[in-house]
A = this chain, B = another copy of it.
Amino acid sequence: MVPADWTEEKSEIASARTGDAMQAMAAFIAASDLRPGDRLPPERRLVDELSVGRSTIREVIRHWQALGVVESRQGSGTYLLRRITPETMHVPLAIEARRSGLLQMLEVRRGLEVEASALAASRCQAGALRIIEDRLDAMEAVHLEKGCAGPEDLAFHLSIYEACGNPLFGQLLSQMRESVSALFALSDLRVDFAARSFPFHRTLFNAIAIGNAEAARVETLKILAIVEEDIKDMLR
């Protein structure tokens, strides 16, 4: 059950010497049968169980933290975010999140979002389609009531990433959204990007529903074109 070599893929990035501690910890955690959201054993217990120094434990945890595998909360504990499996390879990306880079990030997002929509249209199942429509209905309802619908818009797009059948799109795009909103949190700017692009969300859904990948691509481009205008407008 415990993969003897799951850390070896990372040994190109991390030093192979720490592999022992990381491997032992991975084994211990895997043996504990933890699921995402569960709390890892306290650092001091791992020190006892694994007979290694606490700093080593902490460095391994930091490593996983950097990879988004675990999350630590002071006073509470360290929690598992993603299941550790032998087949998972972690690819770190470092991208510039400068404010002037908003348009650059949008271009990347356009490439990804268009592809995700097209894939969703070409392989979306009935169940996933229902979820998308539910999110769309919720978004439209909230939008008509409050005039904007930020979280619901996010939920709608996330359901499309889900429907495309490739988890990488969801991972990449939601990470990009997070960093963008982190940027906004720093510079107290506030724009509801979903406002003007609102009607195209329904047309995008229709394209996905009938399985028309090219139409899904075009509708996604329309949405992002409006986002681009809004960003340029805001930066002026």
Contact = CB atoms under 8 A, between A and B. Distances in A.
A216 to B, nearest CB: 13
A87 B92 contact: no
Contact of A88 (B94, B166, B172): B94
Given A91-B179, A94-B82, A107 B166 contact: yes
Contact of A9 (B15, B68, B97): B97
Interface in A77-136: 82, 84-85, 87-98, 101, 104-105, 107-108, 110-116, 119
A101 B110 CA distance: 22
Interface string A14-54: 11010000000000000000000000000000000000000
A62 interface: yes
Interface in A172-196: 172, 175-176, 179, 182-183, 186
Given A17-B74, A62-B59, A96 B85 contact: yes
Q: How large is the interface on A (under 10, 10 to 19, 20 to 34, 35 or more residues)?
A: 35 or more
Contacts of A1: 98
Nearest to A97: B89
Is chain A's interface secondary structure helix, strand, loop, or mixed overall? helix
Nearest to A186: B9
B90 A172 contact: no
A58 interface: yes
12 contacts: A13-B65, A15-B71, A58-B59, A62-B62, A68-B94, A84-B94, A87-B98, A88-B97, A90-B92, A93-B93, A95-B172, A107-B168
Given A55-B55, A90-B94, A107-B169, 13 more contacts: A15-B71, A15-B72, A15-B74, A62-B62, A63-B66, A67-B92, A67-B94, A87-B97, A89-B95, A91-B179, A93-B168, A111-B115, A111-B169
Interface of A: 1, 9-10, 12-15, 17, 55, 58-59, 62-69, 71-74, 82, 84-85, 87-98, 101, 104-105, 107-108, 110-116, 119, 166-169, 171-172, 175-176, 179, 182-183, 186
